[in-house]
Amino acid sequence: MKTILVIEDNLEIRENLSEILELDGYEVIQASDGKDGVAKAQSDLPDLILCDIMMPNLDGYGVLHMLSRNPQTMRIPFIFLTAKSEKEDVRKGMSLGADDYIVKPFDETDLLTAVENRLKKFELIQDGKPGGRTKIEGDLFLNSYEKNYDKKELIYHEGETPTHVYQLQDGKVKLTRLSDDGKEMVLDLLKPGDYFGYWSVLQRHDTTESAEALEPCKVKHIPTADFLEVVEHESEIATQFIKLLSNNLLAQQYKIVELAYNSVRKRVASALVELADKYTSDPSEPFSMAVSRETLAGIAGTSVESAIRMLSEFKSDGLVEVNKANIKVLQYDKLKNAPY
């Protein structure tokens, strides 16, 4: 029996969807918001995901973005189910990697047909290369090894000749780049399971960023020769890394727009939201993390002084708690959605 995860904040719609799918022979898992949906997708690994876009805590675009960056969930067929029908909304959803887009109100037959077609297409892809790999698995890289890093220790430095591709096993890592005037820009935040350092290997040029441990962490090192051997001979694995690259590039485009047009207050708020989205282990609890003001400023693309000033304002507004290095997000929705 195929399992479908339904992520929808409207209880009536969620129950209706579940009833339709269960009557057609599917097992259904329900999630009431985006964060809950991400957690259940990662723990239950459903065969297909139906997801609304406009939701509290984490919208559907954020759900797809987070799942697309996780090798365990990135290939699960994903269908947006939403009342947003403008062309730009459809274009954005599909550009993020959605497999289909169903507009509310929907016809039951159209819904079931879309689900069936996506599941069949996924099975054909799985079976299309006999003996081929369909997952990025650890045993692919026979000469890989693990290494521990202390907090603030560099894993590799911008401008080096790449010797490995990396996968974070435990802890947190940030990818950074220095501007011409020496300011640090945080390009990405990594969590366990994420691969990094593969862009330079695939492009066969020196590294364009540095990787630094945000806390004590364990990292798998994959020699470049092993990585390229697998990518060149396993088409499914190559496709997955191409999808990771495209998602990363799209995320960078959104970040460039945000840095160009948003106020400092909005950018710092977005930085806190990004940290929460990336590292929340329990979506029902307020997010809390020890993060340096330099790292926060690097994510927001502002000065350390401005980041500190904005944190002070957020604290006064009751949006966060600050205890030395530790920041607790108390009002996630207000930080994410309130106009600034």
pLDDT along the chain (340 residues), means of 10: 94 94 95 93 94 88 85 86 68 73 85 88 56 50 88 94 93 92 88 90 90 96 88 76 73 73 91 89 78 94 94 94 92 81
Contacts of 222 (CB under 8 A, 6+ apart): 141, 143, 144, 164, 165, 166, 167
Domain that holds residue 301: 262-337
Question: Dihedral sign, CA of 75, 190, 305, 249?
Answer: negative
291 close to 297: Cβ distance less than 8 angstroms: no
- At 52 the pLDDT is 92
Q: Are residues 104 and 43 in the same domain?
A: yes
**Same domain for 14 and 119:** yes
Residues 227, 275 within the same domain: no
The reply to whether 133 falls in a domain is no
Dmax (CA) for the chain in angstroms is 62
CATH code of 76's domain: 3.40.50.2300
- Tell me how many domains the chain contains: 3
Q: Is 132 within the bounds of a domain?
A: no
Which amino acid makes up residue 30? Q
* pLDDT for position 234: 74
Specify the pTM: 0.62
Together in a domain, 224 and 321 = no
Both 162 and 223 in one domain: the answer is yes
Q: Are 101 and 79 in contact (CB under 8 A)?
A: yes
Q: What is the CATH number of the domain that holds 294?
A: 1.10.10.10
Together in a domain, 243 and 266:
no
What residue type is assigned to position 73 of the chain?
T
* pLDDT for residue 95: 67
85 and 195 in a single domain? The answer is no
Handedness of CA 85, 91, 93, 98 (dihedral sign): positive
Do 314 and 238 lie in one domain? The reply is: no
Claim to verify: residue 117 and residue 8 sit in the same structural domain: yes
pLDDT of residue 66: 86
Q: Is residue 135 part of a domain?
A: no
For residue 132, what pLDDT is reported?
A: 42
Residue 21 counted as domain residue: yes
pLDDT at residue 242, as a whole number: 77
Residue 18 neighbours by CB distance under 10 Å: 19
